[in-house]
Structure 1
Amino acid sequence: MNSTTSTARRARRIVWSAITLIVAVIAAFAVQQSLAAADAVLSHSFTAGPGSDASTDDSAAETSAGAASIPPGGSVLAPSDADGVIRDGDQPTVFDTDRVAVGNLDPALLDALQRAASDADVPFLVNSGWRSAALQQHMLDQAVISYGSAEEAARWVATPETSLHVSGEAVDLGGLPTLDWLAQHGAGYGLCQIYANESWHYELRPDAVTQGCPEMYADPTEDPRMQR
């Protein structure tokens, strides 16, 4: 075999290797794009609790138990935006009062949230605020299915009659930087975490400004207000 033939064969091998590599890269990119598109569809769920930014805080427990299965249009069995549904990726801030989940909050709570958000260096995203009784019932029904019993569901989702979200007196916030800021500074605005198992759930306690936040309940089943 002469050197010319050997060189030609080496050149062909290099060309085919390059073509194979290019094809592999294109195929991998196509697969990646397909998976990204699938993830985008799957992640277009609704948040009704956990806060946040649901992808970065622990409120996924309440979210998956509640509004994640609600379709965009809403129906008698699946509440819609007018019921306070907030979709993942479309969380309002505490200043977006045109969204009923924010605008229907108790005025004193909303004022405290807005003052705190103005002083903080992180955005106050609302994963769930005011909820209609229909949305709360839907969440409770889904929680019973998800957790397997009404007793376990009660640790995460209240009834429409007892829910502080239905009365506009509670808000679920996210993500982690916001919750960390509130853990350090929230009491100065009367904003307190109420349940140890729900780091995203905040209510207004005006006395906390001078006395600090009260001791947390382990979960809602220890809260006397949930026994009404």
Structure 2
Amino acid sequence: MTLYVGRLPERVRRRRARWAVASAVVVVCVAVVGLVHTLGSAATPGPTPTAAQGLSPELEQRFAAAQAAAELAGVPLTLTSGWRSAAEQQAIVDDAVERYGSIEEARRWVLPPESSAHVQGTAIDVGPTEGALWLGEHGFELGLCRTYANEIWHFELLAEGADACPELHADSSSGW
């Protein structure tokens, strides 16, 4: 650990100032998303949810905060996939078997509906690559963790009370 005597270097002060601003924006975004979710929950049910609408409220809030922080850092961060129905997840499994030529290889990339965090609304895939890499670096601070070493785009909620993201699984095959 480096101990500074006197004034911190300019780059450290600038970085801390950026993070202070980003943190304030995150807090505001989380509050706004929470308010919108609360107001929206009183509405009558609408059409089938989209990927973002089917997410758990906590994941939805954390991702909104991550997007705001990424934007402040000048990094694009988008939701490429979120909630999926069991039928959609099964279709992805079937496509993976066809694409990779075997169920064993497909298992490295996709889980069945009964095991998928996407079906539960507790997982998201993000893009573009720059945004996924940024979230991989900053996700813990925002309550989001990468789950699989072979999928830089897949994130799930940090467990309540956890002080670190869990160790990455090599791939999704352990979830079968």
TM-score (norm 2): 0.67
Using the alignment, how far apart are the partners of 1:155 and 1:193 within structure 2? 15
Deviation at 1:206, TM superposition (A): 3.9
- The match for 1:201 among 139, 154, 162 is 154
- Residue in structure 2 matched with residue 113 of structure 1 by the alignment: 63
Using the alignment, how far apart are the partners of 1:164 and 1:124 within structure 2? 20
- Residue in structure 1 matched with residue 5 of structure 2 by the alignment: none
**Cα deviation digits, residues 158-178 of structure 1 (max 9, x gap):** 111111111111000001221
Structure 1 unaligned blocks of 5 or more: 1-94
Using the alignment, how far apart are the partners of 2:66 and 2:152 within structure 1? 17
Using the alignment, how far apart are the partners of 1:206 and 1:148 within structure 2? 35
- Residue in structure 2 matched with residue 212 of structure 1 by the alignment: 164
Deviation at 1:213, TM superposition (A): 1.3
Using the alignment, how far apart are the partners of 1:176 and 1:215 within structure 2? 21
Please, what is the CA RMSD of the aligned residues? Answer: 2.1
- Residue in structure 1 matched with residue 124 of structure 2 by the alignment: 171
Deviation at 1:150, TM superposition (A): 0.8
- The match for 2:53 among 103, 107, 126 is 103
Using the alignment, how far apart are the partners of 2:103 and 2:121 within structure 1? 24
Q: Is the 8 A contact 1:191 1:205 kept in 2?
A: yes
List 4+ stretches of structure 1 deviating above 6 A. Answer: none
Confirm whether residue 129 of structure 1 aligns to residue 82 of structure 2: yes
Deviation at 1:123, TM superposition (A): 3.1
- Residue in structure 2 matched with residue 191 of structure 1 by the alignment: 144
- Residue in structure 2 matched with residue 75 of structure 1 by the alignment: none
Structure 2 counterpart of 1:174, one-letter code? G
The number of aligned residues is: 128
Q: Is the 8 A contact 2:96 2:106 kept in 1?
A: yes
Deviation at 1:149, TM superposition (A): 0.9
Q: Secondary structure at the match of 1:126?
A: strand
- Residue in structure 1 matched with residue 13 of structure 2 by the alignment: none
Using the alignment, how far apart are the partners of 2:98 and 2:159 within structure 1? 37
Q: Is the 8 A contact 1:189 1:206 kept in 2?
A: no
Using the alignment, how far apart are the partners of 2:114 and 2:51 within structure 1? 18
Using the alignment, how far apart are the partners of 2:55 and 2:77 within structure 1? 14
Using the alignment, how far apart are the partners of 1:161 and 1:205 within structure 2? 21
Q: Secondary structure at the match of 1:217?
A: coil
- Residue in structure 2 matched with residue 148 of structure 1 by the alignment: 101
Deviation at 1:221, TM superposition (A): 1.2
Using the alignment, how far apart are the partners of 1:105 and 1:163 within structure 2? 13
Q: Is the 8 A contact 1:190 1:207 kept in 2?
A: no
Deviation at 1:207, TM superposition (A): 5.0
Q: Secondary structure at the match of 2:52?
A: helix
Structure 1 counterpart of 2:63, one-letter code? L
Structure 1 counterpart of 2:132, one-letter code? L
Structure 2 counterpart of 1:172, one-letter code? D
TM-score (norm 1): 0.52
